[in-house]
């Protein structure tokens, strides 16, 4: 097991990364003096697989856990489902002396985290992510949110967990499409921060695609360390944390236009990264070889690289509603080769994207 630290002063917390950690979740929560009464928020699919070892672990460690289920899928990441969490917390008489545990993928983590941030003006919570995407991205850094029909993650809060338990054994039950979706975010870290890590991913693409435990543990640890380093500098995205949004502007537009749940988040981000890289190339920030390397690696792990055929005007409208728009300008994250990025405000979205998208307005 490896332990990383997200150093945020009084809001610091550890990330435990290893295999077979679910059965010791209660012990790890007891070590941080987590509240006795715990709401375990999950969905039926994940609960069938993993709720029992977590619940038993909590009981053995002296906690009083209550399992609370919500529907599965990105299309349920909304205020109506959030209301279901609040209802169960209130009905079971949870108070300010309670805590919450998110057991599931990014949808569960985001919704449970937002519930924790807002129930009784804030209760402590723990992240136990069960998908590759959530293990390397959404469980770390304190972003919590739900979607709105007009845009992804438009309603949310920054609220850090007290502990993250990453058990890579849960990845054995993921279907290959989910593994690929998670690898999109892993690849992103190499592009924005670490050219050596990107090259390592190129050299180990087969092992990653096949779900090799040792390769996945290394990739998860490296990804989490990069994200922790960034969050420690810029917790609330006033500067370099925005680098983590590479590929997300266009990716979120795809998710919104397709209908939430039709595209995996990582699949949409993969296309968004290629689009951003092509824009960067047109601006002379990177070479065509850099774009080709990115496309090749994404294809190698079974991710799409071409945008779906929606009208340019629809893409522009969706991007203009993105939460990163500020005073009418959208900040794009553009790569400078492989290993570093910069931020560039854009006002003429239609003009910029028409240069690299073969779409009609």
The values of phi and psi at residue 95, to 5°, are: -130, -165
* 172 is an annotated ligand-binding site residue: yes
Are the CB atoms for 152 and 3 separated by under 8 Å? no
Catalytic residue among 43, 147, 185, 221: 185
Q: Kindly state the tokens that stand for 214.
A: 């040792």
* 306 is an annotated ligand-binding site residue: no
The Cα–Cα gap between 330 and 293 comes to: 27
* 143 is an annotated ligand-binding site residue: yes
HEC string of 79-94?
Answer: HHHHHHHHHHHHHCCC
* 290 is an annotated ligand-binding site residue: no
Per DSSP bridges, beta strands 98-104 and 37-42 are parallel
* 171 is an annotated ligand-binding site residue: yes
Question: For residue 13, what are the CA distances in angstroms to 28, 162, 189, 302?
Answer: 12, 5, 21, 34
* 106 is an annotated ligand-binding site residue: yes
Strands, E assignment, 137-185: 143-148, 151-158, 163-167
Catalytic residue among 28, 193, 222, 241: 241
| Burial of 344 per CB tally in 10 Å (0-12, 13-18, 19+) | middle
* 77 is an annotated ligand-binding site residue: yes
Catalytic residue among 248, 264, 278, 293: 248
The Cα–Cα gap between 69 and 150 comes to: 26
Catalytic residue among 16, 28, 188, 265: 265
Catalytic residue among 16, 28, 43, 143: 143
The Cα–Cα gap between 159 and 215 comes to: 30
**Is 265 a residue of the active site?**
yes
Question: The dihedral of CA 131, 221, 1, 29: what is its sign?
Answer: negative
* 108 is an annotated ligand-binding site residue: yes
Helix (H, G, I), strand (E, B) or coil at 190: helix
* 137 is an annotated ligand-binding site residue: no
* 73 is an annotated ligand-binding site residue: yes
**Is 143 a residue of the active site?**
yes
**Is 237 a residue of the active site?**
yes
Q: Kindly state the tokens that stand for 146.
A: 């739900």
Catalytic residue among 43, 221, 222, 237: 237
Q: Kindly state the tokens that stand for 88.
A: 């169960």
* 204 is an annotated ligand-binding site residue: no
* 188 is an annotated ligand-binding site residue: no
Q: Kindly state the tokens that stand for 67.
A: 């399992």
* 52 is an annotated ligand-binding site residue: no
Are the CB atoms for 54 and 101 separated by under 8 Å? yes
Return the residue matching tokens 């805590």.
99
Q: Kindly state the tokens that stand for 77.
A: 């990441």
* 167 is an annotated ligand-binding site residue: no
* 170 is an annotated ligand-binding site residue: yes
**Is 121 a residue of the active site?**
yes
* 132 is an annotated ligand-binding site residue: no
Catalytic residue among 193, 252, 278, 293: 252
**Is 36 a residue of the active site?**
no
Per DSSP bridges, beta strands 2-6 and 13-18 are antiparallel
* 118 is an annotated ligand-binding site residue: no
**Is 252 a residue of the active site?**
yes
* 284 is an annotated ligand-binding site residue: no
Catalytic residue among 16, 227, 264, 293: 227
How many residues are listed for the chain in this entry? Answer: 361
* 109 is an annotated ligand-binding site residue: yes
Annotated binding site: 72-77, 106-110, 130-131, 143, 152, 170-173, 185, 248, 265
Annotated binding site for NAD(+): 72-77, 106-110, 130-131, 143, 152, 170-173
Annotated binding site for Zn(2+): 185, 248, 265
Catalytic residues, by residue number, are 121, 143, 185, 227, 237, 241, 245, 248, 252, 265
């Amino acid at each position: 097991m490896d332990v990383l630290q997200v150093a945020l002063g009084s809001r610091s917390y550890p990330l435990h990364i290893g295999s077979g950690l679910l059965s010791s979740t209660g012990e790890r929560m007891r070590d941080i003096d987590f509240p006795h009464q715990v709401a375990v928020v999950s969905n039926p699919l994940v609960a069938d697989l993993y709720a029992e070892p977590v619940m038993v672990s909590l009981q053995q460690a002296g906690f009083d856990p209550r399992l609370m289920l919500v529907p599965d899928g990105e299309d349920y990441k909304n205020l109506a489902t959030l209301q279901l969490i609040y209802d169960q917390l209130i009905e079971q008489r949870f108070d300010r002396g309670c805590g919450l545990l998110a057991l599931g993928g990014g949808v569960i983590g985001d919704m449970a985290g937002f519930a924790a941030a807002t129930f009784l003006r804030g209760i402590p919570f723990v992240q136990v992510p069960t998908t590759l995407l959530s293990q390397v991205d959404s469980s770390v850094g304190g972003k919590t949110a739900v979607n709105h029909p007009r845009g992804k993650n438009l309603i949310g809060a920054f609220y850090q967990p007290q502990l993250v338990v990453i058990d890579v054994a849960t990845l054995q039950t993921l279907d290959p499409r989910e593994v690929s979706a998670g690898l999109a975010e892993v690849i992103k870290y190499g592009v924005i921060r670490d050219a050596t890590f990107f090259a390592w991913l190129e050299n180990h693409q087969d092992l990653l695609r096949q779900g090799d435990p040792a390769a996945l543990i290394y990739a998860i640890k490296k990804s989490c360390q990069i994200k922790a380093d960034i969050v420690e500098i810029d917790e609330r995205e006033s500067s370099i944390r925005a680098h983590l949004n590479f590929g997300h502007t266009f990716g979120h537009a795809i998710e919104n236009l397709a209908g939430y749940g039709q595209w995996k988040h990582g699949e949409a981000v993969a296309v968004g990264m290629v689009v951003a890289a092509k824009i960067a190339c047109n601006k002379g920030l990177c070479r065509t070889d850099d774009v080709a390397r990115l496309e090749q690696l994404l294809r190698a792990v079974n991710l799409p690289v071409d945008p779906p055929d929606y009208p340019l005007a629809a893409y522009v409208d969706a991007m203009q509603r993105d939460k990163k728009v500020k005073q009418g300008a959208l900040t794009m994250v553009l790569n400078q080769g492989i290993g570093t990025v910069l931020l560039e405000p854009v006002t003429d979205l239609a003009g910029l994207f028409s240069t690299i998208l073969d779409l009609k307005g």
